[in-house]
A and B are shown apart, each in its own frame.
Chain A
Amino acid sequence: MKREKFDAFVKYVQALEEKLEAAEDARDAAKYRARKAGKTADVLQALTEDVLRGTAAVREWLGSPSHTILELSTRTGIPYATCHRIVNERLGTPNVEIGHLKKMVSAVSRDRRPFAPGVASHPRYRRVLFGLPKGLAEEELISSWEIKGSEVSTVHGGLEIAQMMEKLQPDLILVDVSMPNLEKSGLALLKDFAKDTKRTIVLTGEIVETNSALLQGSFEKRTKAEELASEGEIAGG
């Protein structure tokens, strides 16, 4: 065999070997995705009813579905689009959105543009009020909206929200309902927001806890549990 042919043969075998390894990797990745999809379906099944109950509770309290965004835990691994579709199909409410605070912050940090679940393509809000925990990419969030011409204000505690609502009369409010010092119940606040703003986005923690709190008519219980957990009084809180 001539040298050139020999070298070409060796290269061919090397390429084959690389392809084999790549195929093995792709197969394992696909197997993993299939396992994950199976788990997702199980979790989704278990959570759907809870999501729907919570959503229905919010709708009932607000008297309107268009102001509410429910958050779904990232830990469940359920795609937001799937949840959004299911909730909308089951409730027949195209205005119910599902979003997540961490995802919003991540998108803003990465793309440097205003982002909020459900309003990303309509950033036409003149006055925006953020009620968020301190240090949560606050500057990035504010500047991303200011670049688009929105007047942005931020509050870190529940007590300030009412004052700012009065003063600013925001078109859009993004609020974390587990903020400290909420003097009203979360649902009472939601009713105020829904009355006074074009749109309210509610940003919270786990959907199961959130919905339980909603069904019980208060967010305070969850907030208290979080405070205790952070003080180390509840193991694994």
Chain B
Amino acid sequence: MDNKNYEIRRDDLEGDELPLSLPDADKQKVELAIAGLAKEPWPRQFSAKEVSDGTVKITVPVEDDEITVLYEVDVYESTVDLIRMKRRGPFKKAGEWLAGLMKFEPKGKS
């Protein structure tokens, strides 16, 4: 792994105001996750996932929700351009509901 520092840029970030609506602890969690991209742009602890070539998404768990951050990594220029930050609430809830359905056992069936 290289030791370089990536420059985090927010010039084109959609949803920049989202952290403001979070409780302090969650806000800090999200900001720390973003700041951590400067050292490691593909953080495993936030399930970094390549969305398309150079575009990566991380999921930061917060109280009763998850915040996804989409960004573009340029290894040549050592930059991370934040693209979008949004709540994953609806997807998360739907996922949990479906997972619950999978566990559903009809009464009277062994």
The interface of chain A, by Cβ under 8 A from chain B, is 3, 6-7, 10-11, 13-14, 17, 20-22, 25-26, 28-29, 32, 35-36, 74, 102-103, 106-107, 109-110
Contacts and interface: CB of A to CB of B under 8 A. Distances in A.
A102 B78 CA distance: 9
A28 B70 contact: yes
Interface in B79-110: 81, 83-84, 91, 94-95, 98, 101-102, 109
What is the size category of the interface that chain B forms with chain A?
A: 20 to 34
A28 B55 CA distance: 10
A29 B98 contact: no
Contact of A29 (B2, B72, B101): B72
Contacts, number: 56
Contacts of B51: 22, 25-26, 29
**Secondary structure at chain A's binding surface: helix, strand, loop or mixed?**
helix
Nearest to A80: B76
Interface in B37-52: 51-52
Contact of B70 (A6, A29, A35, A110): A29
B86 to A, nearest CB: 9
Contact of A106 (B14, B57, B78, B91): B78
Contacts of B52: 26, 29
B35 interface: no
A7 B91 CA distance: 19
A29 B76 contact: no
Contacts of A28: 14, 70, 83-84
Nearest to A35: B12
B91 A29 contact: no
B102 A7 contact: yes
Nearest to A109: B2
Nearest to B9: A75
Q: Choose among A21, A107, A110 the residue with the greatest number of B CB atoms under 10 Å from its CB.
A: A21
A14 B98 contact: yes
A222 to B, nearest CB: 22
B19 to A, nearest CB: 18
B32 interface: no
A103 B79 CA distance: 12
